[in-house]
Every structure is written in C-alpha cells, then in structure tokens.
Structure 1
C-alpha cells in the first residue's frame, strides 16, 4: 500500500516537469511508517524543487548580469550611457582640437587616414573612391541645407559621418580636428594648415587649373564636379584646385573689396558679434553669409561651388563652423541646445515661400549613411553625438 501511494505521489510530481527525480527511500510497512515516509517525501520534494528553481534563477541572473555588463562596457567605450529607448547621455566625449595644437605624429595620422579613405572603393560608383562619395553627397543632398535653418545641423551630421568613417574604415584613432581661421585673420595664406609636410599643401597658383602641386594631396584625381545650373554632380576627374585671393592676386577694385571683406568677416570682432546673436535664426543667417563664406571666397578653386569637399581642408573648416555653433549654444545651454527655427529652404532663392523648419525635419545624407533628424544633432553630447572642443 505504501509503495502504491508513493508511486502515485511520484507520478503527480513528474507532471510538474521532467527535471524532478525523487530520491529512492527505504520503505517499511505500517501506517506510522507510511505517514513518516509521506512527510519525508514531501519535505525532500519541497527542498529539491526549491534547490532546482534557485539554481535556474541563479544561472539566468548570472547570464543576464554578464550580458548587461558587456552592454554597459560597450556603451561606455562608445562614450554613451543609455537611458532608455533612443535617449542617450554622453559620458566620455572625444575632444576635437585645433590643427596647430596637434603633435606632428597626430597630424600625420590624420593625413594618412584621409589618404586611406581616398584609396577605398566608392559605395556609389566603381570608378570613384569612398572619399569622392562625400563630395557626391554634398552636391546631391547637402545643397538644400544652404541658406536654410538646416545648414548647421546638416553639416554637423556630415562632418560626424566623415569622422566616424575615418575611424571605422581607416583606423584613425583621434577626433576630427578643426581650423580656427580667426587665429589667421591677419594673413590666411600663412596658416599652418597649408604646410606641405604637416598640412594639406599650398595653393595652386594663378596658372591653368590652379592644381595643387605640393603636399600630401598633390597629383591626386577627384571624381566629381558640380553643375550649378542643373544642381547635379557630373563625373569629371580633375586635380585639387586652389587659388588664394591674396594681395598678389588682386586684379581690380572689385577684388580689393572682396579681399577686405574676407578679412573683416573672420576678424575676432566680427565673429564675436556673430556669437552675440540673440536667436538661432539670426545666428545662422549672419554666420553662413559672413564668416563661413569668407573662407571659400579666399581659397577659390574647388571652394567656389559644392565640390569644396574635394579639399580635405573643408572638413577642418566645417569643424570650426560647428565649434562656433557649439560656443553659441554653450552661452545658454538650457535654451539653445533645443533652439531651432528659421526658413526650411533657401531664403535667398527666387521662389522662397518662407516655410518654417522643425526639429523633426529630416537631414538627407544622399545614401552615404541613413538619413538623420535635426533633433538628434542639436547637441554634441546627446542624440547620436558625443564630442566636445578644446
């Protein structure tokens, strides 16, 4: 009778799961012995179940802890703390530094990474390079951001994409440097960015196509030209061209006026006046048409249209543009890190309709990477970004 009852109990317990295996017990006949065995059986079963469940919980908890630790370690390595959903907080921002403050080794490392990008195949066209892809995207997708509210966030995302590409595909270990041209406001042609060995080479002179003949990027061919009248990119391999507008190149009174205007717009006084703009719309309009445009007017060559990205100095220039926006935001971070408004299209265009922009607006990258949203690029220490300036 005792054996029958124990078998019945065992069968009922096995229904709870195949992981239960009762421990054999020595059985004695008699009611008292039966009761004792039943109580012992229940007690052993209870502790066996508890032990098994505790083991399973422990293993699951340990695995969860390991996975979570790896996830946190990875996020910290990337510089982010994940707060939930898509919200992130920047913990260890990379620091973008001015070109002339970099060591010789750091300058060479950056230049090598850029040359590496020029040697990688395009993601768009088998006849071009991955570096050319940035010019193609600037022509086809970046044009609409100029003279519009998206000018600053679009280029912030664009330069960030370039920086990440150098890191991920060319093993560049630093941050994107910037060129503080305010420091060269007495004579742009003497800036250290034009050094032939630890810089990007000099101008191409006044003859022919103004091809750069000295420096790490002399002799290279660049795939794309811009056709402004059609607003498209056309493949036409050519040299990197620069033609500095310095005092030796001035041809007439109009050139003289432009020359003086350039140096006025990059002067400390003018830049400080720009940084004192009361709101975002006033700031970006004055900035783009003023200090930003002064540099292309000085360099000329590639810089007179959307193929300015053929020149690696473009990315140092726009890192400086981004830095000045960062400084403007930092003056009132609570308000300005979310401040974004102004025309959503070229406010200088003939058919301008005064359409207002919004932080939910899309930043098209022309297939270079997935399109972004303005709201994710308003702060350098939130959204998808994690960097600061020295």
Structure 2
C-alpha cells in the first residue's frame, strides 16, 4: 500500500527515511542515479528513447519505482513508497518538506538543503553521481528569483480527460494524448510550456532540474503520484491501452526509437503490456 506522504505516521516517516539512507549507504542508491542518467535521452538524440519524451515514460518509471521500493523493502519489509500530492500540498513548508521527512528548501546563497535527514551536514547524503561536481542536495522550491506555481487539479484533469494514451509521432511535440499531457512537454517558451510532471521538477529546482534528479528523494514521491495518475486514467478510460500497439515501420521517423506494447523495455526484461496492471503488486491509499 502506497500512502499519501501527508498521512504518514511519525514511525512510518522514520522507517522510510532510515531505509532510504541505508540504501544510499550500501551504494545501491547511486546506481539508481546512474540508470536514470543513462536512459534520459531527448527527441534530438539518436537511438531508442525509453525514459522520457516517449510513450514508455510511464511504464519505464513504474518499473524504476518498483526497483527502488524493492531495495527499500530489503532493508525494512514494512516500508512502501509514499506519494506527494502536489495539487493539494503546495506550500514550501507542507508535506513532504518537513524536518522529519525530506527536509526543507535550500538556502538562498547556494541552494544547499540544510534541514532534514538528507542535508549535507548530516553526513549521510553526499552526491557522488551527478551532472556537476556539487556534493550537496540543492532545492529552490517555487523558484524564488522567478516564481513558478505547482500544477493544479485542473492541470491534471486536462491530461486525464484525454481518451488516447499517446499519439504519433510519439515524442515531446504531441499536443494530444494522455502521456505527454502528463509528462508535460508543452508548446511555447518559458514557464507556460512546462506542464504537470515537468512543472513539478521546475518548481522543486536544484538537482531536480537535471537528468540526475534522482539525487533528490522527492523524485520518488513525485513519480509515485504521477504513477497514480496513470492508474486513475486507466479506470476512467476502461479498455484504453498503452500505445503504440505495434512498432513504427521502417519508413517512420520513429522506427527503432520508441517501445511498442509488447517490446522489451530496457534495461529490464519486461514489456509495457506487463506493466499496465500492477494491481496484484501494490495499491494506492
């Protein structure tokens, strides 16, 4: 059972944090960062796209979340991933930004997080894999110099009402389809072009702005909420499936670049179809 972070008891928070810190201490956590870095590829790059700007954005991160959850449960079998409902908990001091969970905002001078269990000064959360040489966790909640707001319920509804999972050309340019409306690659420039999932990364700021966003533990709570939206979309549109059902043909510009429903989803030996229904594995409270 995955619970709303705002409803966790003090004991549940402590167990979750301690399990995360132990996964980090064992060196396993940095492997998750490396995996996300390796599979973060954009429309402009050649080859297969799996984690972002592609239909497999949702099943890829679903499998990624399960891997982390399994690592946590090897430490403490009572732990499950919580989720952050950013349509409701919208303040920089609300869940999950409390000292007993993820800690708070970064300081103004260098964005370094100085509160909570993942603060650099605690000695348990040194960043070793990233896109810069920085060793400490950084955040700029709400982007103080140029404020940006979190997505609202109406923004999620705009995505959830879409009847098709995804549409050609299966990339960041599509304006229809649930996947990209949730992933959040929009048209135009600046803040208005960042929707839902992408906008949350921008709102948190700091390391969440890069392909090494996994270095902020909020990554998992954010993506658990994104995963919950996929379940909600499936319930609303009964019978709607992951698309494309078949791989784009040899004359298609996306040939060999996106994963179809029954193709293996790297780096795992699993297909999007196998990840469409996880009801027997976990539920959301």
Whether TM exceeds 0.5 here: the answer is yes
Instruction: State whether structure 2 residue 103 is matched by structure 1 residue 201.
Output: yes
Q: Confirm whether residue 298 of structure 1 aligns to residue 198 of structure 2.
A: no
Shift of 1:191: 2.2
C-alpha distance in 1, partners of 2:264/2:39?
A: 11
Of residues 159, 170, 183, the one that matches 1:274 is 159
Q: Which residue of 1 aligns with 2:189?
A: none
In structure 2, distance between residues paired with 1:137 and 1:202: 26
Normalized per residue, the structure richer in helix is: 1
Aligned residues: 248
- Contact preservation (8 Å) 1:150, 1:344: no
SS in 2 for 1:188: coil
Give the Cα separation in 1 of the matches to 2:64 and 2:247. Answer: 18
Deviation of the 1:160 alpha carbon: 0.6
**Relative to 1, partners in 2 of residues 1:157 and 1:300: Cα closer, same or farther, differing over 3 Å?**
same
Q: Is structure 2 residue 128 aligned with structure 1 residue 218?
A: no
Structure 2 matches for 1:88-107, cutoff 5 A? 95-107=1-13
Greater mean deviation of Cα atoms: 212-221 or 373-382:
373-382
Q: Please, what TM-score do these two structures have when normalized by structure 1?
A: 0.60
Identify unmatched segments of 5+ residues in structure 1.
1-94, 121-128, 228-235, 346-351
TM-score, normalising length: structure 2: 0.81
Deviation at 1:237, TM superposition (A): 5.9
Residues of 2 paired with 1:116 and 1:300: CA distance? 25
Residue equivalent to 2:242: 339
CA RMSD of aligned residues (A): 2.2
Within-5 A mapping of 1:254-265: 255=146, 259=148, 262-263=149-150
CA distance in 2, matches of 1:190, 1:326: 28
Structure 1's 135 and 344: CA in aligned 2 closer, same or farther, altered over 3 A? Answer: farther
Between structures 1 and 2, the one with greater strand share: 1
> SS of 2:202's equivalent?
helix
CA deviation after TM superposition for structure 1 residue 167, in Å: 0.6
- Contact kept, 8 Å, 1:342 with 1:357, in 2: the verdict is no
CA–CA distance in 2 between the matches of 1:286 and 1:379? 21
Contact preservation (8 Å) 2:107, 2:114: no
Deviations 1:226-276 (A, max 9, x none): 38xxxxxxxx46111111235xx23xxxx35xx2xx43xx11112112111
The CA distance in 1 between the partners of 2:105 and 2:247, in whole Å, is 35
1:148 and 1:343 in contact (8 A); partners too: no
Would you say 1:181 and 2:86 are equivalent positions?
A: yes
1:216-365 map, 5 Å: 216-219=117-120, 220-226=125-131, 236=133, 238-246=135-143, 249-250=144-145, 255=146, 259=148, 262-263=149-150, 266-281=151-166, 282-289=177-184, 290-333=195-238, 335-336=239-240, 338-341=241-244, 353-355=253-255, 357-365=259-267
Displacement after TM superposition at 1:343 (Å): 11
Greater relative contact order, per chain length (Cα 8 Å cut-off, separation 6+): 2
Do 2:72 and 2:80's aligned partners in 1 also have CA atoms closer than 8 Å?
Answer: no
Q: In the superposition, relative to structure 1, how do residues 194 and 344 fare at CA in structure 2: closer, same or farther (>3 Å)?
A: farther
